[in-house]
Amino acid sequence: MKTFKSHAKINIGLRIINKRPDGYHNLESLLQEISLHDDITIAKHGRDIRLRCNDPAVPLNDDNLCVRAYRLLQEHYGLKDGVEINIVKRIPVGSGLGGGSSNGATCLKAFNEIFRLDLKMNDLLVLASQLGSDVPFFIPGKTALVQGRGEVVTPVPFLNDYRILLVYPNFAVSTAAVFKYFEFGLTENPIDIKFEAVISRVGGLEDLNRYFYNDLESVVCNLYPELAEISRKLSESGAKFVSMSGSGSTVYALFEPGTDLREISKGYFKKNRVFLARPVI
């Protein structure tokens, strides 16, 4: 039996480039793995997969990305043993923090180790892309630029140290629904420069405001004005950069190390769930 940490991510900027013939969107995003994590305990057991989780919002059937990771490896490598998995969830479901995708990637890496499959980074990336758009990022994790549907992952150097205050407004947002709304052209790119081209120009945290934005943010804030209100409040609390993560619903703020985040976070506890985190580097 072994326990694996399955970390969340934040999107520092998300540009939607175009819609593809397969219905997905080509995008560009700078992703950062963060210290907020679920714990996944795995033990070999029986001939199939059995899953438990403390969060009732997590599906325990074949929709679960841990189950799909097991089935995918079973299909390709004919696993003989089953597994018993227990997930202690802290990353809220439907929060834009990649919890489900991270669980899928963590399981691929864990099964690779437990079943001694000897899969290399590239093999894992290919398998991960079959599980979902955000799953490949979590194979290397840390800091990376993602492109295509999410499957083109380019590790980049870590920007600068910071602390993160995450505000989850206690409701989930459906990624598929947000992408559908985006099609109606409610958003315009403020600046059309590739993140890839400007990463090297980012010195301090404030520089992020100059180049990085999330195309989905205005779409989601129109649907849920309370998110715009949280963003405004965070911006006024000394944050250097404030953004929604992915397709929402979490809004986060980056602060200089040494900032008293516990004090600042007090203003958000009533209606929301608040997390303090650091980047994983």
Active site residues: 9, 134
Distances (CA, A) of 126 to 11, 39, 76, 94, 191: 22, 24, 12, 24, 32
DSSP annotation string for 20-78: -TTS-EEEEEEEEEEEEEEEEEEEE-SSSEEEEES-TTS--STTSHHHHHHHHHHHHH-
Residue placing its CB nearer to ligand C5P in the complex, 37 or 68:
68
Name the residue type at position 241.
F
- Choose which of 175, 187, 218, 235 interacts with ligand C5P (CB under 6 A): 175
Is the Cβ–Cβ distance between 155 and 199 less than 8 Å?
no
Please report whether residue 149 would count as binding ligand C5P according to CB under 6 A. yes
Q: Which two tokens stand for residue 168?
A: 């989850």
Among the residue ranges 39-47, 155-163, 172-180, 219-227, the one whose residues contact ligand C5P (CB under 6 A): 172-180
Handedness of CA 14, 17, 18, 21 (dihedral sign): negative
CA 131 – CA 135 distance, rounded (Å): 7
Least distance from ligand C5P to the Cβ atom of residue 179, Å = 4
Least distance from ligand C5P to the Cβ atom of residue 31, Å = 13
Nearest residue to ligand C5P, by Cβ distance, number only = 133
Least distance from ligand C5P to the Cβ atom of residue 225, Å = 23
Please report whether residue 150 would count as binding ligand C5P according to CB under 6 A. yes
Residue placing its CB nearer to ligand C5P in the complex, 11 or 133:
133
Least distance from ligand C5P to the Cβ atom of residue 91, Å = 15
- Choose which of 176, 197, 200, 263 interacts with ligand C5P (CB under 6 A): 176
Which residues, 107 to 136, sit near ligand C5P by CB under 6 A?
132-134
Is the Cβ–Cβ distance between 8 and 243 less than 8 Å?
no
Which residues, 12 to 71, sit near ligand C5P by CB under 6 A?
24-25, 27
Residues in contact with ligand C5P by CB under 6 A are 24-25, 27, 132-134, 149-150, 175-176, 179
